[in-house]
Amino acid sequence: MNYNKVEICGVNTSKLKVLTEKEKRALLTQMKNGTPQEQKKAREELINGNLRLVLSVIQRFTNRGENLDDLFQVGCIGLIKAIDNFDISQDVRFSTYGVPMIIGEIRRFLRDNNSVRVSRSLRDTAYKAMQVKERLTTQNNKEPSIEEIAKELELPKEDVVLALEAIVEPVSLYEPVFSDGNDTIFVMDQVGDKNDDNNWLDEIALKEAIRNLGPREKKILNLRFFQGKTQMEVAKEIGISQAQVSRLEKGSLERIKNHI
């Protein structure tokens, strides 16, 4: 990014007007109550007077390699939506409402233009799952489980997990994870190699540790971590309580950990 650049999409950013909150309120009121001509003029003034707000938001996305002009234009779409949908009866600053709208528009643009294509049905499921998650978190003051989200959506939990994982943005192998000024650790440095000497030794130790478990403990671990079942589902299949499943699972993992 060229930090000295003052022109985006032909707009000289150094000469952009900045509206006060009082001026924004007056223009928003005029948009609602004025004549058609006054409404149009107020809308244009609001757009031009909030372009610096768009600029401040797109700074958050400058490390993604996207064209700044594209981000600015998309951000302006979010700004216009915020202006058109703002409720002046609410005691909320316009920027408090506008910034999330601009961010949301940019994120949609980045998702839809990602090199890794995700089907529309998967994206729709993921967005619905995130809305349910936010609602249940607010309602219950705690983050819901995948099972709870899936139940609300009336979908298999596997479909919900797949959808949420599908919209996670890929990370470059050259993304820096840590740097002390002299030596930088990248994501690729933390990716294991199947040919590493320690890997096959760890695998042997793990297999030996599992071999020492009883048949019931082995079945519980298989159902939980290889088939992805919940403790309640495992309890029902084996015919014991969920509390027993939890205790046996915890004990088995502890034994494996101590053995390795």
pTM of the predicted structure, to 2 decimals: 0.44
Cα–Cα distance for residue pair 254/213, rounded to 1 Å: 11
> What is the rounded distance in angstroms from the CA atom of residue 216 to the CA atom of residue 230?
16
- Listed in order, the ranges of the chain carrying CATH 1.10.10.10 are 120-166, 197-259
Residue 76 near residue 109 (C-beta atoms within 8 A): no
* Residue 138, both tokens: 């607010």
What's domain 120-166's architecture?
Orthogonal Bundle (1.10)
Query: Do residues 25 and 74 touch, judged by C-beta distance below 8 A?
Result: no
Token output for 136: 């249940």
Which residues make up the CATH 1.20.120.1810 domain(s) of the chain? 7-112
**To which residue do tokens 């993992």 refer?**
253
Task: Tell which CATH classification among 3.40.50.300, 1.10.10.10, 3.90.180.10, 1.10.600.10 matches the domain 197-259.
Answer: 1.10.10.10
Length of the chain: 260
Quote the tokens at residue 47. Answer: 């757009």
Q: What angle do CA 196, 201, 205 make, to 5 degrees?
A: 145
260 residues of the chain, pLDDT tens digit each:
443 444 555 566 667 778 888 899 999 999 988 898 999 999 999 998 998 888 888 888 776 667 788 888 898 999 999 999 888 888 888 888 888 889 888 888 877 766 555 567 777 888 888 888 888 888 888 888 888 998 999 988 888 888 877 666 555 555 555 555 555 555 555 555 555 555 555 566 667 777 788 888 888 888 887 777 888 888 888 888 888 888 888 888 888 777 66
7-112 CATH pick, 1.20.120.1810, 3.40.720.10, 1.25.40.340, 3.40.50.970: 1.20.120.1810
Backbone angles phi, psi at 199, to 5 degrees: -65, -50
- Strands of the chain, DSSP E: 7-8, 11-12, 176-179, 184-186
Please tell me the distance from the alpha carbon of residue 218 to that of residue 206, in angstroms, as a whole number: 13
Query: What residues contact 33, with CB distance under 8 A and at least 6 apart?
Result: none
